[in-house]
Amino acid sequence: MMLTTIDKELDQEGLSQRDFSELLVRLLDYGVICRDESQIEQQLYDRYLRLEELVGDYLSLLGIRIQHDRRFQFVRLYPPGAQVPGMVDDETAQATPAFRSRLNQNEVALILVLRAQYDKALREGLVDEQGCVMVSLEALSIAMKNLLKRTLPDNLTERKTLFRRLKQLRLVQISNDDDLTNSDMWLRVRPMIMSYVSDQVLAELLEEKNPAADEPVVAAEENTAAAETDAESAQEESAEEPTAEQPAAGISAEQPAEQEQPEEQPEDNNGAAAADAEPHKPASLFGE
């Protein structure tokens, strides 16, 4: 009965079961189709547009959900129980290891940094018509050190394997992976990277690893040292030449001595210096 319905709809579109099977196999094998990736994927994406409802009904039997971005022209599959951006979670679906591919630590680290670089370029308006951004290998390496204290694999074979994996996931486009050791090389990051790393995860990453967090602490330490130096100089001068406006040496700057004539209270310059000597230091955003 189901095959009869499928054949009927395929006939209406002028397609065969082989065309339908090729589209399903590609989706289940790669999990994603991007129209601008290659001529083959361009044909498959256009075929999907003609069979979108039929493909959706077929995959729904397996608990697989589809994310279709018409603006940037890509289709991505999500396994049962997975969260799909822009879609309500299916509470009836149970998470299963089927149709899931695990990422290793290097792949996860690179995806996180690529997401941060994409967000930066997005805020700066450096996005092309396909929603992609260009990132140099040098900038990527620096960002990885700053955010995660990690480096890209030094071995060219390992580095190629890493980027080929992300290319297979349609997260990046690389013209020639033999140039992956060249810091001047540029790669293209796809908008699909946003569905791999949520805004919340990105915000937590940037908050924990924000290099600017150290600047107020360093400035406070410098101001503290300068204030302490001024306080010491002021105390030495007051010890040599005590005047009516400064407390004599040996008297705490924080607790000025009581004067016999209250109407002529000395100004507590040393107290002001001591107060400046210990400014409040903002807590560092870095974890221990």
Q: What is the pLDDT of residues 94-117, one digit of tens each?
A: 666 666 678 899 999 999 999 999
Region label for 131, one of left (φ > 0), alpha (ψ between -120 and 50) or beta (otherwise):
left
| The predicted structure's pLDDT at residue 48 | 98
Q: Does position 86 have pLDDT exceeding 90, yes or no? A: no
What are 251's two structure tokens?
């008297």
Burial classification of residue 261, based on how many CB atoms lie within 10 Å of its CB (0-12 exposed, 13-18 middle, 19 or more buried)? exposed
Burial classification of residue 266, based on how many CB atoms lie within 10 Å of its CB (0-12 exposed, 13-18 middle, 19 or more buried)? middle
0.85 exceeded by the pTM?
no
How far apart CA 218 and CA 214 sit, in angstroms, is: 6
Confidence of residue 122 (pLDDT cuts 50, 70, 90): very high
Q: Does position 251 have pLDDT exceeding 50, yes or no? A: no
Task: Report the mean per-residue pLDDT for the chain.
Answer: 77
Angle between helices 137-148 and 105-123 (to 10 degrees): 110
pLDDT digits (tens, 9 = 90+) for 197-231: 877 878 887 787 665 444 443 344 444 444 455 54
Q: Does position 126 have pLDDT exceeding 60, yes or no? A: yes
| The predicted structure's pLDDT at residue 87 | 67
CB-based contacts of 242, cutoff 8 Å, min separation 6: 248, 249
Mean pLDDT for the stretch of residues 8-36: 95
